Chains A and B, each alone.
Chain A
Amino acid sequence: AQSVSQHNHHVILSEAASLELGCNYSYGGTVNLFWYVQYPGQHLQLLLKYFSGDPLVKGIKGFEAEFIKSKFSFNLRKPSVQWSDTAEYFCAVSRTGGGNKLTFGTGTQLKVEL
């Protein structure tokens, strides 16, 4: 079975700082990768996804992620965060051909201070 590790559990940044959240997965086969965001009191929203092609994926709100197959990683980046980016971020993986069953990481709580 696949698993997902998010090593940063809590991150505090000042506005305009750059963001990188780590995500590593363990599975030997082909995977699809996702980043979801959950704003306080709200449901999960898809930030971006990768399932083939260009390993650098651009998502909504200025976020991007890079799939590095050799490192089993899919780190999320944003060059300049805003206070409104305060939320919890989840990395998730599904196996290609395994349906849409997602395995989630434990999440990273991001707080952006003014």
Chain B
Amino acid sequence: NAGVTQTPKFQVLKTGQSMTLQCAQDMNHEYMSWYRQDPGMGLRLIHYSVGAGITDQGEVPNGYNVSRSTTEDFPLRLLSAAPSQTSVYFCASSHTVSSGNTIYFGEGSWLTVV
């Protein structure tokens, strides 16, 4: 049981490049989400999904796209990378949208935009 798997772990991008951060979970969780972590700001929700085919915006969605074609995968796309998107990105998943379910986090993806 791998839990929540994120790839790549480290990435350096040039301004304007695009890339996709991959997230996969093998726990059959309906709910998946992406957060970014910046110093002194905690974690902020980018996008989330309550099931395959359903996505919605979080607190800081600008510059990011998501899709949820399967229950297992929830990729995060940076369309045109900017230095402000330098951050650590965490994918998370949990069962249903019933509040109180434990949310499992991936190990993080360190992204630097130069």
What residues of chain A have their CB less than 8 Å away from a CB belonging to chain B? Answer: 4, 6, 9, 32, 34, 36, 42-46, 49, 51-52, 90, 92, 94-107
The 10 closest A-B pairs by CB, nearest first: A51-B100, A104-B42, A99-B97, A104-B43, A106-B42, A44-B105, A43-B107, A43-B105, A96-B99, A32-B99
Q: Which of the residues A9, A43, A51, A94 comes within 8 Å of B108, measured between beta carbons?
A: A43
Residues 49 to 78 of chain B near chain A (Cβ within 8 Å): 50, 58-59
B100 touches A32 (CB 8 A): yes
Q: CB-CB < 8 A to A45: which residues of B?
A: 105
Known: A96-B99, A102-B45, A103-B59; 18 extra A-B contacts, CB below 8 A, are A43-B90, A43-B105, A44-B105, A46-B103, A51-B100, A90-B43, A94-B99, A97-B99, A99-B50, A100-B31, A100-B99, A101-B45, A101-B48, A104-B35, A104-B42, A104-B44, A105-B42, A107-B40
Does B101 belong to the interface (CB within 8 Å)?
yes
Does B25 belong to the interface (CB within 8 Å)?
no
A102, B35: Cα distance in complex, Å: 10
B100 touches A49 (CB 8 A): yes
A49, B104: Cα distance in complex, Å: 13
What residues of chain B have their CB less than 8 Å away from a CB belonging to chain A? Answer: 31, 33, 35, 40-45, 48, 50, 58-59, 90, 94, 97, 99-103, 105-108
Q: CB-CB < 8 A to A43: which residues of B?
A: 90, 105-108
B107 touches A100 (CB 8 A): no
A51, B45: Cα distance in complex, Å: 21
A98, B45: Cα distance in complex, Å: 14
Query: What are 25 A-to-B residue pairs whose CB atoms are below 8 Å?
Result: A32-B100, A34-B103, A42-B107, A43-B90, A43-B105, A44-B90, A44-B105, A46-B102, A46-B103, A49-B100, A51-B100, A90-B42, A95-B99, A96-B99, A98-B99, A99-B50, A100-B94, A100-B97, A100-B99, A102-B35, A102-B43, A102-B103, A103-B59, A104-B35, A104-B44
